[in-house]
């Protein structure tokens, strides 16, 4: 079926003041990446898709209009977010099935990365509708490329739980992943999250990337513990934050008997918590793991170990 009628003159975008006509689009859902901060990071293909589409699905019209206005795009905007998705999704799918081309964007970056677009794409695919991507900026990938940490394997976690107990439990579940971790976090929780990461993961290198591609871009690199201490001081930072944590170091298994001996020696002069922290730091082990053993030894009167080894 044909696209909804709209003047060809309206299907243009501006680049340095020059109006460029956008080629017509086949019916379908176009997943379009937009800049994460610097509006100059948008691709020419993204602009062409946004200009040629029959409508653009956006999270917040106030945010998206900044980009649309900058490039002189006249395509109408339609809201699609967490609170209206259940009602908006079937309407969008119906429009595509009737022959329209719809573009999906998020407030910033690549759609479906920590935003509500997944169900729309999944249902469009299930309905046999055409779905394609116009790739571009992503805060997760941008942070990964500037962190100075291994990029051959990485795991995108998104946002961790807001409460400390649940957050620590989730971090502990991530500890064994053999790759770099990429985490989004709110400025108000960054200090607590870094402290929990240091506590659960042990001494790993990390980077905190803030306001990427924007005027006040900042990337701070260092050991998790040092970054946690730095962000614990003063007021919480502002802006969008991505935390990148290096993978666990590959070391030989630690002999359980030798580890217990170190813990017993530490318990003679230190508390259970401080003993665990010292031994964990020495071997690069997660503190929770060593703390559990130190607690058991302290409560058992330092009984001899049963043998075996403690894997890393």
CATH code for position 60: 3.40.1010.10
Q: What is the pLDDT of residue 6?
A: 64
Same domain flag for 133 and 15: yes
Tokens of 259: 């580890």
Q: Which of 206, 228, 245 is the last residue of a domain?
A: 245
- DSSP per-residue string spanning 42-56: --HHHHHHHHHSSEE
Q: Which of 188, 220, 245 is the last residue of a domain?
A: 245
pLDDT band at 308 (very low <50, low <70, confident <90, very high): very low
DSSP code of 170? Answer: H
The residue-averaged pLDDT of 104-113 equals 94
Q: What is the pLDDT of residue 162?
A: 95
Same domain flag for 217 and 190: yes
Residue 63 lies in a domain: yes
pLDDT band at 14 (very low <50, low <70, confident <90, very high): very high
Residue 1 lies in a domain: no
pLDDT beyond 60 at 306 = no
pLDDT beyond 50 at 311 = no
Same domain flag for 218 and 233: yes
Residue 95 lies in a domain: yes
Q: Which domain holds residue 115?
A: 8-137
Q: What is the pLDDT of residue 58?
A: 97
Same domain flag for 224 and 235: yes
Same domain flag for 65 and 158: no
Number of structural domains found in the chain:
3
Q: Which helix (H) or strand (E) holds 133?
A: strand 131-134
Of 206, 241, 211, give the one whose Cα is nearest residue 227.
206
Same domain flag for 104 and 172: no
Same domain flag for 12 and 74: yes
pLDDT beyond 80 at 312 = no
Residue 2 lies in a domain: no
The residue-averaged pLDDT of 65-93 equals 96
Contact 101, 3 (CB under 8 A): yes
d(CA 80, CA 98): 19
- Our measurement of the distance from residue 262's CA atom to the centroid of its chain's CA atoms, rounded to an integer in Å, reads 38
Average pLDDT of the residues of the chain: 90
Q: What is the pLDDT of residue 303?
A: 46
pLDDT beyond 70 at 251 = no
Residue 205 lies in a domain: yes
The residue-averaged pLDDT of 231-253 equals 88
pLDDT beyond 60 at 305 = no
pLDDT beyond 50 at 1 = no
Same domain flag for 239 and 271: no
Angle (deg, nearest 10), helices 287-299 and 190-201: 60
The residue-averaged pLDDT of 179-195 equals 97
pLDDT beyond 50 at 307 = no
Residue 296 lies in a domain: yes
d(CA 177, CA 2): 48
DSSP code of 223? Answer: E
Same domain flag for 128 and 13: yes
Same domain flag for 13 and 120: yes
Question: For 11-20, 111-120, 228-237, which range has the lowest pLDDT when averaged over its residues?
Answer: 111-120
Same domain flag for 164 and 221: yes
Contact 49, 104 (CB under 8 A): no
pLDDT beyond 70 at 12 = yes
Sheet holding 55-58, edge to edge: 77-79, 55-58, 101-104, 28-32, 131-134
Q: What is the pLDDT of residue 44?
A: 98
Question: For 67-81, 109-123, 165-179, 285-299, which range has the lowest pLDDT when averaged over its residues?
Answer: 285-299
β-bridge partners, 180: 154
How many residues can be counted in the chain? 312
Q: Which of 88, 114, 137 is the last residue of a domain?
A: 137
pLDDT band at 137 (very low <50, low <70, confident <90, very high): very high
Same domain flag for 146 and 80: no
């Amino acid at each position: 079926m044909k696209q909804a009628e709209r003047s060809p003159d309206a299907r243009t975008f501006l680049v340095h003041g020059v109006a460029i006509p956008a080629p017509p689009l086949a019916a379908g859902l176009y997943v379009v990446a937009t800049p994460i901060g610097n509006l100059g990071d948008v691709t020419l293909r993204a602009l062409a898709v946004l200009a040629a589409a029959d409508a653009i699905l956006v999270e917040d019209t106030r945010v998206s209009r900044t980009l649309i206005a900058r490039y002189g795009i006249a395509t109408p905007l339609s809201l699609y977010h967490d609170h209206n998705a259940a009602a908006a999704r079937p309407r969008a799918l119906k429009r595509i099935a009737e022959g329209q081309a719809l573009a999906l964007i998020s407030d910033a970056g690549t759609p479906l990365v920590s935003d509500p677009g997944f169900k729309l794409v999944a249902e469009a695919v299930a309905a046999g509708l055409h779905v394609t991507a116009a790739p571009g900026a992503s805060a997760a990938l941008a942070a990964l490329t500037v962190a100075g940490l291994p990029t051959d394997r990485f795991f995108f976690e998104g946002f961790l739980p807001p409460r400390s107990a649940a957050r620590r439990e989730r971090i502990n579940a991530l500890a064994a992943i053999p790759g770099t971790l990429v985490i989004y976090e709110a400025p108000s929780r960054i200090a607590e999250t870094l402290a929990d990461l240091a506590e659960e993961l042990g001494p790993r290198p990390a980077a905190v990337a803030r306001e990427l591609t924007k005027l006040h871009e900042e990337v701070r690199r260092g050991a998790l513990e040092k970054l946690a201490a730095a962000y614990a001081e003063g007021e919480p930072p502002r802006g969008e934050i991505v935390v990148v944590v290096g993978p666990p170091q590959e070391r030989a298994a630690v002999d359980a008997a030798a580890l217990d001996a170190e813990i017993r020696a530490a318990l003679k002069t230190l508390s259970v918590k401080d003993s665990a922290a010292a031994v964990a730091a020495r071997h690069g082990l997660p503190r929770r793991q060593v703390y559990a053993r130190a607690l058991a030894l302290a409560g058992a009167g330092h009984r001899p170990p049963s043998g075996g080894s403690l894997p890393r």
